[in-house]
Amino acid sequence: MKKAVWNGQTLAQSNDLEEVEGNYYFPASSLNMDYFEKSNTTSVCPWKGTAAYYHLKAGGEQLEDAAWYYPNPKEAAQHIEGRVAFYPSVDIIDA
């Protein structure tokens, strides 16, 4: 099992992960949404599609656009639909 941890808080925890390009994608159902706030930021990956982002908030601090997901991934990235990944400022550790 792996955990996503930032600022002393567990953001997500799961055994059901997909690893893509060195990033672990956690199921959305494993997120503790108390620490997530939707962002208006988007970006485009040629093979995954358009990503949407979350800001993280914990311990009185905010980390902008630190988590992302693909609401409508392209066919090649269907296996990460409904999953969220994190920038390196979030620690992914063994639980």
CATH class of segment(s) 2-94: mainly beta
Domain residue spans of the chain: 2-94
Q: How confident is the model at residue 87 (pLDDT cuts 50, 70, 90)?
A: very high
- In single-letter form, the type of residue at position 3 comes to K
Distance CA 61, CA 94 (A): 24
- Measured in whole angstroms, how far is the alpha carbon of residue 21 from the centre of its chain? 13
- In single-letter form, the type of residue at position 26 comes to F
The model's pLDDT over 36-83, given as tens digits with 9 standing for 90+, comes to 999 999 999 999 999 999 999 999 999 999 999 999 999 999 999 999
